[in-house]
Amino acid sequence: MGEEHPPMIKHSSALMRMGKQEEAAVVGGDATSWDEDGYRESILLERELRSRTVFRTLFSPSPNPNPEALAVASSDGSVAAYSVASCISANPKPLNSTRKVGDQILTDYVTAEPLGIIQAHKGPAYDLKFYGDGDNPFLLSCGDDGHIRGWKWMELLNSEVQTSMQGTHLKPTLDVANPQHEGPWGALSPIPENNAIAVNEQDGSIFSAAGDSCAYCWDVETGKRKAIFKGHSDYLHCIVARKSSRQIITGSEDGTVRIWDCRSGTCTQVISPEKGYKSKESSWVSCIAIDQSENWLVCGTGSGLSACSLLSCECIFSVDKHSTIQDVLFDDNQILAVGSEPLLSRYSINGNVLSQIQCAPLSAFSVCLHSSGVTAIGGYGGLVDVISDFGSHLCTFCCRGMNGDEGSYI
């Protein structure tokens, strides 16, 4: 019996399948066995593999000092759970493994088999949040279909259905959708997408940043909409809950950040991060984060990074990046940022660059931090890069798609 490989790893083979079909068709000039449908399917699969994106990574809550599971939301609408330990122990390839196909040098990654996977949304799944820190928290997801859905985390992890058969095997415990707007002659608009969500467990609320330039508040228990926040002139990219003040903060394509009072639904402050940039070009607010004290706000935009005090609303620093910042978070009094460059950057609260680490996704959309200091970066190519608190790459893997494909390459 040959050597057994870890069950969670499959090597990429989309290009190989396509290459074998081409080779078979040209041997001796005989095209009688040419599979046109199969060739078209392989081309579509190749394109899907190249363009698949991880929009959100999120470590699961656990009393374990080391990260146990990672939740991932992807552009094919899937939400999946991965064992961090299994991904690290079973990853047989270094970060820069490459192979040559024709005249191309492709970076080759392995596909991790998930603990569980669901087809959470029609269209891309954009954001994830855990609600509750108990033994069986809710995993909340939102996406391009305008829905927010809640799943019992342990049911996803411990499903008896084989992963190859999973997708629609779990039904959401919570399912709410943004309202449609009525136009002329009673015509209803499409349901606006949800680009991000935030939670406040103290009053049982979920907040969503929607594509109709509004933010919505939903009751977790009843699924009913409690409030609507209107004021932005373009669609929302991001939202956070400032629980101590019963406020939410939103960032929009219109280039502003707004602070809202959840009790009255009114906007109490408008912040324009781009005012601190040297560049005079207008920019959008792509991501925001607040620190643990909820006194500091950091904003990522299409052209830079800025931070301000929420107590005085004064800008602390602004950094021109000339590239889009796509996710930010606080690590104590430091800031982690990722974006359209394959870098994980760490800044001081004064805006000084402390370190930069190369990461696998050519464009990163998500960075999450575990209490142990381990980070997980997700982005283009369906890739997740797990990095230790010392800056070493623990593993890099490709997330499996809903169609059960076998890998990624960029």
For the stretch 115-151, pLDDT in tens is: 999 999 999 999 999 998 777 899 999 999 999 999 9
Q: Is residue 230 part of a domain?
A: no
Q: Find the helix or strand (DSSP H, E) in which 10 lies.
A: strand 9-11
pLDDT at 45: 60
Share of the chain above pLDDT 70, in %: 80
Residues 6+ apart with CB under 8 A from 44: none
- Has residue 152 got a pLDDT over 60? yes
Q: Span 304-313, mean pLDDT?
A: 92
Token pair recorded at residue 278? 């040297």
Q: Which strands make up the sheet holding 325-331, listed edge to edge?
A: 325-331, 334-339, 343-348, 353-358
For the chain, what is the largest distance between any 2 Cα atoms, rounded to a whole number of angstroms? 77
Q: What confidence category does residue 405 fall into, taking pLDDT thresholds of 50, 70 and 90?
A: low
Q: Residue 102 burial by CB count (10 A; 0-12/13-18/19+): exposed, middle or buried?
A: exposed
pLDDT at 9: 36
Q: Is residue 86 part of a domain?
A: yes
Q: Is residue 236 part of a domain?
A: no
Q: What confidence category does residue 25 fall into, taking pLDDT thresholds of 50, 70 and 90?
A: very low
N-terminal to C-terminal alpha carbon distance within the chain: 34
Question: What's the Cα-to-Cα distance from 366 to each of 59, 298, 340, rounded to whole Å?
Answer: 12, 15, 11
pLDDT at 138: 93
Q: How far apart are CA 58 and CA 367, in angstroms?
A: 8
Q: What confidence category does residue 408 fall into, taking pLDDT thresholds of 50, 70 and 90?
A: very low
pLDDT at 11: 35
pLDDT at 382: 93
Q: Is residue 242 part of a domain?
A: no
Q: Is residue 288 part of a domain?
A: no
Characterize the bridge pairing of strands 98-101 and 343-348. Answer: unpaired
At position 54, the amino acid (one-letter code) is V
Q: How far apart are CA 110 and CA 398, in angstroms?
A: 6
pLDDT at 30: 59
pLDDT at 4: 39
Report phi then psi at 184, rounded to 5: -60, 145
Q: Span 74-94, mean pLDDT?
A: 85
Q: Is residue 83 part of a domain?
A: yes
pLDDT at 282: 63
Count of domains for the chain: 1
Q: Span 227-232, mean pLDDT?
A: 96
Q: Find the helix or strand (DSSP H, E) in which 114 lies.
A: none
Mean pLDDT of the chain: 84
CA nearest neighbour of 325 among 381, 358, 284: 284
Contacts 24+ apart (CB under 8 A), 223-231: 223/174, 223/175, 223/176, 225/176, 225/179, 227/262, 227/265, 228/265, 229/258, 229/260, 229/265, 229/267, 231/258, 231/260, 231/267
pLDDT at 300: 95
Token pair recorded at residue 12? 């990429």
Token pair recorded at residue 133? 């820190």
pLDDT at 277: 58
Q: What confidence category does residue 410 fall into, taking pLDDT thresholds of 50, 70 and 90?
A: very low
pTM, two decimal places: 0.84
Q: How far apart are CA 364 and CA 382, in angstroms?
A: 10
Q: Is residue 274 part of a domain?
A: no
Range of the domain at 127: 57-94+106-175+362-410
Q: What confidence category does residue 163 fall into, taking pLDDT thresholds of 50, 70 and 90?
A: confident
Q: What confidence category does residue 13 fall into, taking pLDDT thresholds of 50, 70 and 90?
A: very low
pLDDT at 306: 94
Q: Which of 9-13, 109-113, 220-224, 253-257 has the lowest mean pLDDT?
A: 9-13
Q: Is residue 77 part of a domain?
A: yes
Q: Span 353-368, mean pLDDT?
A: 96
pLDDT at 18: 41
Q: Span 260-271, mean pLDDT?
A: 95
Token pair recorded at residue 9? 């790893």
Q: Span 14-26, mean pLDDT?
A: 42
- Has residue 383 got a pLDDT over 80? yes
* Other Cβ atoms within 10 Å of 389 Cβ, number: 12
- Has residue 100 got a pLDDT over 60? no
Q: How far apart are CA 356 and CA 207, in angstroms?
A: 32
Report phi then psi at 276, rounded to 5: -85, -5
Q: What confidence category does residue 322 fall into, taking pLDDT thresholds of 50, 70 and 90?
A: confident
Q: What confidence category does residue 50 fall into, taking pLDDT thresholds of 50, 70 and 90?
A: low
Share of the chain above pLDDT 90, in %: 63
